[in-house]
């Protein structure tokens, strides 16, 4: 979710929406979808065979050294509402193949760049089959104008894709309003679960030696700017 300072932001209330742990509400929501039974260890069981419901979370090996630890924290926290999860650490090319073939259940990945929604939307919305985290088949349907892939059955997702397709060429004010509507839907539907928002640890920190010269006073740190290359490092030098 983009910061409030970004014109595309839907507002402060959406930045923290669904971010508070409400154990009673979580239990009620899981009960409402039929996961009412638990095994002897307190984990919820599947409705089709009575076995423990397990969710696998795929993680890219070495891409970010903290990701496995983050997933382990999620696994521990989900136990409080009876959800069992397992982490699977994968080499990046295998991770990408599984994701492109929609063979994953859940993945942990960064979402840096989508604060500029129309410049780098691929990590937030299924519009690029090669990079989508929320459904490559949906992305194939989007880019092919329905000739291949799978049409989303969720009307909210269809609304988002329609908005994305219509946004090209709009004046700035209308484009920002369109992005705000997209983000409101994304926040409400929660296809992705945010862990840490607007953290400086990825692309947001800049440490420079006093001996380094010819560097810009400020640089863009978003994904679509591809830092540090947008600061022309081939022209830096030490004195």
Name the 3-class secondary structure at 58.
strand
pTM, two decimals, is 0.82
| Average pLDDT of the residues of the chain | 88
With cut-offs at 50, 70 and 90, classify the pLDDT of residue 199.
Answer: low
Mark whether 185 and 208 lie in a shared domain.
no
Mark whether 128 and 183 lie in a shared domain.
yes
Mark whether 185 and 114 lie in a shared domain.
yes
Question: What are the pLDDT digits (tens) for 118-138?
Answer: 888 888 899 999 888 888 999
Segment 148-156 mean pLDDT: 95
Could you tell me if residue 125 is inside a domain?
yes
Residue 19 has pLDDT above 90, yes or no: no
Question: What are the pLDDT digits (tens) for 201-228?
Answer: 555 566 778 898 988 887 776 677 777 7
Could you tell me if residue 185 is inside a domain?
yes
Segment 190-201 mean pLDDT: 74
Cα radius of gyration rounded to whole Å, the chain: 20
Mark whether 188 and 214 lie in a shared domain.
no
Residue 161 has pLDDT above 80, yes or no: yes
More confident site: 188 or 230: 188
How many domains, in total, are found in the chain? 2
Name the 3-class secondary structure at 192.
coil
Mark whether 154 and 227 lie in a shared domain.
no
DSSP letters of 106-127? EE----TTTTSTTTS-TTTSS-
In sequence order, the β-bridge partners of residue 85 are: 55
Domain enclosing residue 134, as ranges: 110-192
Could you tell me if residue 7 is inside a domain?
no
With cut-offs at 50, 70 and 90, classify the pLDDT of residue 116.
Answer: confident
Name the 3-class secondary structure at 94.
helix
pLDDT at 203: 57
Could you tell me if residue 214 is inside a domain?
yes
Residue 224: exposure state from Cβ atoms within 10 A (0-12, 13-18, ≥19): middle
Mark whether 167 and 226 lie in a shared domain.
no
Residue 159 has pLDDT above 90, yes or no: yes
Mark whether 173 and 219 lie in a shared domain.
no
More confident site: 140 or 19: 140
pLDDT at 239: 86
Name the 3-class secondary structure at 175.
helix
Question: What are the pLDDT digits (tens) for 36-95?
Answer: 999 999 999 999 999 999 999 999 987 778 889 999 999 999 999 999 999 999 998 999
CB 190 within 8 A of CB 156: no
Mode of pairing for the β-strands spanning 84-90 and 212-213: unpaired
Residue 34 has pLDDT above 70, yes or no: yes
């Amino acid at each position: 979710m983009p910061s409030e300072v970004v014109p595309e932001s839907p507002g402060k209330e959406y930045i923290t929406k669904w971010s508070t742990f409400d154990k009673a509400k979580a239990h009620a929501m899981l009960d409402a979808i039929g996961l009412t039974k638990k095994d002897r260890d307190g984990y919820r069981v599947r409705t089709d065979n009575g076995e423990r419901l397990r969710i696998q979370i795929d993680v890219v090996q070495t891409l970010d050294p903290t990701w496995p630890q983050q997933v382990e924290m999620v696994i521990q926290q989900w136990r409080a509402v009876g959800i069992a999860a397992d982490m699977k650490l994968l080499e990046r090319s295998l991770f990408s193949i599984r994701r492109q073939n929609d063979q994953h259940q859940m993945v942990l990945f960064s979402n840096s760049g989508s604060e500029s929604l129309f410049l780098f939307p691929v990590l937030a919305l299924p519009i690029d089959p090669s990079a989508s985290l929320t459904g490559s088949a949906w992305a194939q349907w989007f880019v092919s104008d329905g000739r291949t892939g799978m049409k989303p059955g969720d009307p909210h997702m269809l609304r988002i894709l329609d908005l994305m397709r219509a946004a090209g060429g709009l004046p700035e004010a209308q484009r920002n309003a369109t992005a705000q509507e997209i983000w409101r839907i994304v926040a409400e539907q929660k296809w992705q679960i945010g862990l840490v928002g607007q953290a400086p640890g990825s692309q947001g920190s800049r440490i420079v030696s006093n001996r380094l010269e010819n560097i810009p006073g400020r640089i863009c740190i978003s994904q679509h700017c591809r830092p540090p290359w947008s600061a022309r490092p081939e022209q830096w030098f030490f004195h």
